[in-house]
Amino acid sequence: MIHRDNHYLLFSIVVFLYICTLFVNIPGVREILAVLVLFLFFISVRYASGLFRILATVFSGTGIILIWRYNLPVWESIMYVNDNLALLSLLFMLPWMSGAVRSGRYDRRINTMLASDVSRLGQLYPRALGVSYILTAFINLSALSLSQGVLKENLKALETKVQQSFIAKTTLRGFAAALCWSPMEILVAISVDATGVSYFTMLPWLMLVSFLTLSLDGIIGRNRWKNTPYISDAPAASPKRLLPDLLQLAAALTVFLICIVAIGNFFQLNFILTVTLVIFPFAFLWAVVIRRTRSFFKLSVPLWKTRASHMQNFVLLFVSLAFFSSVLNETPLLEVIQAPFLAVEDTPWIALFMIQGAYLLLSMTGIHPIAVIAVLVEAVTPLFAEANPLSFAIVLVTGALATATVGTYGVTVTLTAANTLQNPYRITWRNMPFAVMYGLIGTLTAVFLL
């Protein structure tokens, strides 16, 4: 049995072989890849959480039953485990971007904004929201622990309930809003490939939803906490001093997006693969430009090894989901799932609200939004001929990411519960108004574009 800390080696082989199969047709490699994926799947069971074990069992078991019930070719069906390797490859590469941000110490300097001279929590609320938003755009999930740790230190003089509520709201809401338009977010990548809508066609609308949601919550939070005093011993730091760092991050993100467009169009690559291939060389060159190459490798390599060796939950989810959804597409059951959406074919705006509702309800039962989106995409695809696919792409993204603040058994909520020592159901309750508002803004925007 391969030790957990060495899973990155097997993962590296799988990702390398997968990328090779996309550019070179070598007989037998697809089959070898499927065997390695299954091996990675089975050794991941031991270290995955109970929820993801259950999800994997349900998806895999249902797929096997469908193969038996509809007499589908077994070996060809097994090959379906390769179908989500693009997403796993993207997750595999993300730590390198986090390493570039950390090597430049952007995360630390931006977090000093939270120590600026404020006297009320109402003043701190939009600032904490903004810090979480900015960091999430570059270092994804790492931003949560970083922002929550700083806030815990700054709010230690306040009552525990006040700390818990403030941290759970600002960090999770900023996190969810930032991922709406991030090219490194899996749910955005899935929506791009599933609907066929260009990322840059979606981008202005997703940014509109993101900024509008963040601004409204910032105003609401400022008023909600305006009378709560805030005292911190941390040294003050003017946000104006951080302007050069913010400009550097904005410039880096702009160049990153330009690289994705240029390389994707030149080599005719899909969005997910393009982002996967661009991340490492871009992060490395960024470190070279800011003269932090040694620090980049010193921070990134251990981070990459650790993240790649602790992706068991995602391995179970993506592999079992690929197997299930691909097998489902070969059976008549797909028509049953599509029926409720086809019933409202003449009023597609209803289907958009149905998608949002499905995300919210299923997130609280522990079903990951990636699992939901895989089924929803198959269900609503026939509607693309009658309605604007852009509308569905927007709702698929915003509806899914709104659940990052309320998914009781999701990674973000459980991580926040552990960091702040509070009940995950309380976090869900506190963030439900925001999740509804977020999803509603996204859905209304989508309805406008029908």
Find, among 389, 357, 355, 387, the residue nearest to 373 by Cα.
355
Reported confidence tier of residue 325, pLDDT bands at 50, 70, 90: confident
Rounded Cα distance, 114 and 121, in Å: 11
Structure token digits, residue 268: 């005719």
Averaged confidence pLDDT in the chain = 85
Write out pLDDT tens, residues 14-42.
999 999 888 888 788 889 999 999 999 99
Reported confidence tier of residue 421, pLDDT bands at 50, 70, 90: confident
Question: What is the per-residue pLDDT for 162?
Answer: 87
pLDDT of 1 > 60? The answer is no
Rounded Cα distance, 319 and 303, in Å: 23
Find, among 9, 11, 29, 66, the residue nearest to 318 by Cα.
11
Q: What percent of the chain has pLDDT over 90?
A: 26
Find, among 21, 42, 43, the residue nearest to 32 by Cα.
21
Question: What is the per-residue pLDDT for 113?
Answer: 66
Rounded Cα distance, 135 and 219, in Å: 20
Q: In this structure, how many other beta carbons lie within 10 angstroms of the beta carbon of residue 291?
A: 10
Write out pLDDT tens, residues 373-413.
888 888 888 888 888 899 999 999 999 999 889 887 677 88
Rounded Cα distance, 397 and 316, in Å: 22
Residue 129 to residues 166, 168, 229: CA-CA distances in angstroms? 10, 11, 18
Rounded Cα distance, 72 and 84, in Å: 20
3-state secondary structure 51-65: HHHHHHHHHHHHHHH
pLDDT of 312 > 60? The answer is yes
Rounded Cα distance, 63 and 103, in Å: 44
Which comes out higher in pLDDT, residue 108 or 380? Answer: 380
Question: What is the per-residue pLDDT for 239?
Answer: 58
Angle of CA points 396, 402, 407, to nearest 5°: 110
Which comes out higher in pLDDT, residue 1 or 181? Answer: 181
Per-range mean pLDDT, top range of 49-63, 96-110, 331-345: 49-63
Helix, strand, coil distribution of the chain in percent, nearest 5 = 80, 0, 20
Question: What is the per-residue pLDDT for 261?
Answer: 83
Question: What is the per-residue pLDDT for 184?
Answer: 81
Rounded Cα distance, 109 and 104, in Å: 9
Backbone angles phi, psi at 129, to 5 degrees: -60, -45
Write out pLDDT tens, residues 59-81.
899 999 999 988 989 888 889 99
Rounded Cα distance, 27 and 218, in Å: 56
Question: What is the per-residue pLDDT for 309?
Answer: 85
Query: Is-contact 396 373, C-beta < 8 A?
Result: yes
Instruction: Give the single-character DSSP code of 290.
Output: T
pLDDT of 111 > 80? The answer is no
pLDDT of 260 > 80? The answer is yes
With a CB cutoff of 8 Å and minimum separation 6, the contacts of 154 are: 114, 115, 124, 232, 234
Write out pLDDT tens, residues 139-163.
777 778 778 877 887 788 788 888 8
Reported confidence tier of residue 288, pLDDT bands at 50, 70, 90: very high
pLDDT of 87 > 80? The answer is yes
Find, among 238, 273, 295, 232, the residue nearest to 103 by Cα.
295
Query: Is-contact 415 422, C-beta < 8 A?
Result: no
Write out pLDDT tens, residues 195-241.
889 888 999 999 999 999 999 999 999 998 888 887 665 555 555 66
Query: Is-contact 326 320, C-beta < 8 A?
Result: no
Write out pLDDT tens, residues 167-177.
999 999 999 99
Biggest CA-to-CA distance, the chain? 69
Residue 393 to residues 22, 195, 196, 358, 399: CA-CA distances in angstroms? 26, 6, 9, 15, 10
Question: What is the per-residue pLDDT for 39?
Answer: 92
Question: What is the per-residue pLDDT for 59?
Answer: 87
